[in-house]
Structure 1
Amino acid sequence: MRLKRQKRHRRTVRFFTACFGFRDPFKVLCDGTFIHHLVAHDINPVDTALSNLLGAEVKLFTTRCVLAELGRLGNAYSDSLSAARNFMVARCDHDKRKSAVDCITEIIGENNAEHFFVATQDADMRNGLQEIPGVPLIFGLRNSLLLEPLSNSQRHFAKSAEEERLHLNDLELKMLNMKKYSRPVLKEEDSPDMHEGMDHKIMGSKPIKLFGEEKKIDPKDKVQFKRKKAKGPNPLSCKKKKTQGTQNNAPKKETKDAEQTVRSRSRKRKRPHKSKTVESTINQ
């Protein structure tokens, strides 16, 4: 049963966030009866209990008229008054203090511009605020907090607002029915230069029609494509230049002035063939 109740509460909160623009942290406006119910049933901390109910962070508000009403009730509501003083005070411009019902209904107004969740134990007050579309209501039942289900007026208002968004309004219809702006085409006899068309033909330009008028393009207005220039070789694919020290790797040759013979430094050792060695052994 508790899980079904939580799902219903989450569905109600999603309805107000999607249709009326409520955003967290949610603002909860409490009257004296709701604060007294919290103190009597020891629901503490209040912000944690309300955040668990709404599924997001909350800010608690009350009014000066509510504080004044709790103060007039005497010592029986002294604990409720001290608890209400810890809440933030919503602005109400009342020189003479009014009752909590009149003060809260005046703050809510016709469309609940401040997006308040109203928490109260007054059944008549809840019934009156249910007629206003964008006012979610919270009340306490013993040691648990509940969110008032959606009323028929709130459902009807959301459905009609959705249908209005699907259709075009008067301003949008006028914008669609407006004619496109177009300048009149100049005739040949009205043009200041009679030979302007001949000049374009000679230059090789072609007149084109754009939105009901002829627009002539000169050759200088044509798109000029840039030619690709030849690029150099890829430096990563080129071989490295040889240094001077590695150019003369060949064996150096020495020349003698007298004999003018060339001798290489690296001499190869001549080894006798196996056949010669065999013959020499036989002769011996």
Structure 2
Amino acid sequence: MKVKKQKRHRKTVRFFSVCFGFRQPFKVLCDGTFVHHLLVNNITPADTALSNCLGAPVKLFTTRCILAELKTLGASYSHSFQAANKLTIARCDHEKRKGADACILDVIGQNNPEHFFVATQHVDLRNKLQEVPGVPLIFALRNALFLEPPSSFQHQFVKASEEKRLHMTEKDHKLLERKTGGLLENEDVAQSNDVEGLESHDPGLQAHNTRKRSTGKKLGVKDRVQFKRKKAKGPNPLSCKKKRSHENPNPSSIKESKEGDNIVRRNRRRKRPRRDKSIAGADKDSK
């Protein structure tokens, strides 16, 4: 598959999955013409080819009316009938057999509740299904499969549904008016009772209260956004050094300690023994 074709298919699958709620594995409703084209052009296995086209796992479905139509076409479509008979049968609730096109239109309905991808080779059927919201279409050309992009009708339907979601309906608007009217009446009654009580104590507060009533809060909505003011915090005690004590001792005690140290040092001086002069003279004479 080429890169441009793959991107186009991926974009289409994303559109239907986001806007209409398609989920994996995708359901593909195949008619007899599509199954016959796959067998003639050797596009097998069919589930692998369709999963490569959509970029996701798939489940193949058909209906009893489609099988009955293939059976009536004779021996030339016998292989197609056998291949279609192996697919999962989708419920169509038709007591009498209908044509494949009519059966597929009835199964799809107005909004495709089962989220089917419709695989068919009928051009008229594809044109009819393009006017139905939420129906992606698959067709084959020779040995290649193609996913049709969403039609202009489907794009307009998605835009209209988005606008409806943005705007309120009449029923929701009436409910909102009832709720807001009841809340406003209760609030006015409560404010009038408060004003009467204040006037009985101090009649000079009447003007102030009426002004307050006019600027009062409605429906519990605050006039201004209130934020918490950030206050200056102290430093982290773990990152601070401990304070040093600056107390000076008494000067008298310092002097006493110094004098005591000098005395101790003097007492510790080493005293050398002195010899007598007489002994020293006797030593000289002997020499």
Distance across 2 between alignment mates of 1:122 and 1:187: 76
Alignment of 1:204-223 (within 5 A): none
1:115 aligns with 2:115: yes
Q: Which residue of 2 aligns with 1:71?
A: 71
2:128 matched to 1:167? no
- Which position in structure 2 is the counterpart of 1:10? 10
- Structure 1 residues 88 and 179, CA gap change in structure 2 (3 angstroms): same
CA-atom RMSD, angstroms?
A: 2.5
Equivalent residue of 2:181, what SS?
A: coil
Deviation string for 1:215-265 (max 9, x for gaps)? xxxxxxxxxxxxxxxxxxxxxxxxxxxxxxxxxxxxxxxxxxxxxxxxxxx
Determine helix, strand or coil for the equivalent of 2:39: helix
* Structure 2 length-normalised TM: 0.63
Who is 2:136 aligned against? 136
What secondary structure does 1:22 align onto? Answer: coil
Measured in 2, the distance between the counterparts of 1:162 and 1:42 equals 43
Q: 2:61 & 2:94 partners in 1: Cα distance?
A: 17
Alignment of 1:26-175 (within 5 A): 26-175=26-175
**Residues in 1 aligned to 2:170 and 2:182: alpha-carbon distance in whole angstroms:** 19
Runs of 4+ in 1 over 3 A off after TM superposition: 183-188
Matches of 1:17 and 1:170 in 2, distance apart? Answer: 30
Structure 1 gaps of 5+ residues are: 189-210, 213-284
Aligned residue type for 2:181: K
Query: How far apart, CA to CA, are the structure 2 residues paired with 1:172 and 1:97?
Result: 45
SS, match of residue 95 in structure 1: coil
Shift of 1:25: 0.7
Structure 2: runs of 5 or more not aligned? 195-216, 219-287
Q: Distance in 1 between matches of 2:5 and 2:164?
A: 32
- CA displacement, residues 38-74 of structure 1 (integer Å, 9 cap, x when unaligned): 1111111111111111111111000000000000001
Q: 1:90 Cα shift?
A: 0.3
Judging changes above 3 Å, is the alpha-carbon distance between structure 1 residues 95 and 174 closer, same or farther for their aligned structure 2 residues? Answer: same
Cα distance in structure 2, aligned partners of 1:69 and 1:80: 11
How far residue 187 of structure 1 moved from its aligned partner, in angstroms, is: 6.6
Q: What TM-score results when the alignment is normalised by the length of structure 1?
A: 0.64
Task: Tell me the distance in 2 between the aligned counterparts of 1:151 and 1:42.
Answer: 30
Deviations 1:74-115 (A, max 9, x none): 110011011001100000111111100000001101111111
Where does residue 237 of structure 1 map in the other structure?
none
C-alpha spacing 1:80/1:166, structure 2 compared with 1 (3 Å): same
Distance apart, 1:179 and its partner CA: 1.9
Q: Could you tell me how far apart the structure 1 residues matched to 2:154 and 2:171 are?
A: 27
CA distance in structure 1 between the partners assigned to 2:115 and 2:92 by the alignment: 15
Deviates more, 1:158-167 or 1:120-129: 158-167
2:40 & 2:101 partners in 1: Cα distance? Answer: 21
Q: Distance in 2 between matches of 1:175 and 1:160?
A: 24
Question: Residues 179, 125 of structure 1: CA spacing in aligned structure 2 closer, same or farther, 3 A cutoff?
Answer: same
User: Would you tell me which structure has more strand in proportion to its own residues?
Assistant: 1
Q: Secondary structure at the match of 2:28?
A: strand
Deviation of 1:2 (Å)? 1.4
Find the counterpart in structure 2 of residue 179 from structure 1.
181
Letter paired with 2:168? L
Using the aligned pairs only, state the percent identity: 60
CA distance in 2, matches of 1:161, 1:130: 17
